[in-house]
């Protein structure tokens, strides 16, 4: 067998130099019971967010307890509802990968009627968003998440 994964893969899975365990991702627009949500700085679609498991390094969903799984997916669900309210997509994709950053996170990717890949996954082609527009979107997401939290059933 010829190894194709990076030499430091096992160390990354244990949390060595983890991007999400550090402070690199910034302030979340939503803090849930198990996860934080961040608007992507270089999204593949308008409103693309990442929901990151919080409190300890976890490389895979299988490392969570049943209760943690339920809490995590409730947070992902809440973030998706928030994105629906702010961006009004026609569909949402959920990417649970961890192929480059092995810390449990889900990319919540809104889809729109005019996107370039109807019926298929979007190509992973991130694009920069102007700081003022990104700030505006984060503010909207924060406000809507706060309103949904207050009025949640």
Give the domain CATH number at 39: 3.30.428.10
Does the pLDDT value for residue 149 go beyond 90?
no
* CA gap 146, 124 in Å, rounded: 30
Q: Please count the structural domains in the chain.
A: 1
Residue 20 domain flag: no
Task: Provide mean pLDDT across the span 108-121.
Answer: 96
Q: Mean pLDDT over all residues of the chain?
A: 94
* CA gap 81, 78 in Å, rounded: 5
Summarize pLDDT for 48-101 with one digit per residue, the tens: 999 999 999 999 999 999 999 999 999 999 999 999 999 999 999 999 999 999
Residue 147 domain flag: yes
What pTM value is reported for the model? 0.94
Does the pLDDT value for residue 151 go beyond 90?
no
Q: Which residue has the higher pLDDT, 152 or 14?
A: 14
Going from the C-alpha of 23 to that of each of 94, 119, 122, the distances in angstroms are 24, 36, 28
* CA gap 16, 20 in Å, rounded: 11
Residue 90 in contact with residue 110, Cβ under 8 Å?
Answer: no
**Residue-number span of the structural domain to which 106 is assigned:** 28-112+126-151
| % residues pLDDT > 70 (the chain) | 96
Task: Report the pLDDT value the prediction gives residue 153, as an integer from 0 to 100.
Answer: 58
Task: Report the pLDDT value the prediction gives residue 152, as an integer from 0 to 100.
Answer: 64
């Amino acid at each position: 067998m010829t190894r194709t994964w990076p030499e430091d893969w096992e160390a990354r899975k244990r949390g060595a130099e983890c991007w999400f365990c550090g402070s690199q991702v910034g302030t979340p627009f939503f803090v849930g019971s198990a996860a934080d949500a961040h608007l992507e700085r270089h999204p593949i679609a308008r409103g693309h967010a990442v929901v990151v498991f919080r409190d300890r390094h976890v490389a895979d969903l299988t490392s969570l307890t049943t209760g943690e799984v339920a809490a995590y997916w409730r947070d992902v669900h809440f973030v998706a509802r928030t994105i629906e309210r702010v961006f009004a997509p026609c569909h949402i994709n959920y990417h649970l990968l961890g192929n480059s950053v092995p810390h449990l996170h889900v990319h919540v990717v809104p889809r729109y009627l005019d996107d370039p890949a109807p019926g298929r996954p979007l190509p992973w082609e991130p694009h920069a968003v102007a700081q003022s527009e990104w700030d505006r979107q984060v503010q909207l997401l924060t406000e809507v998440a706060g309103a949904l939290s207050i009025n949640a059933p």
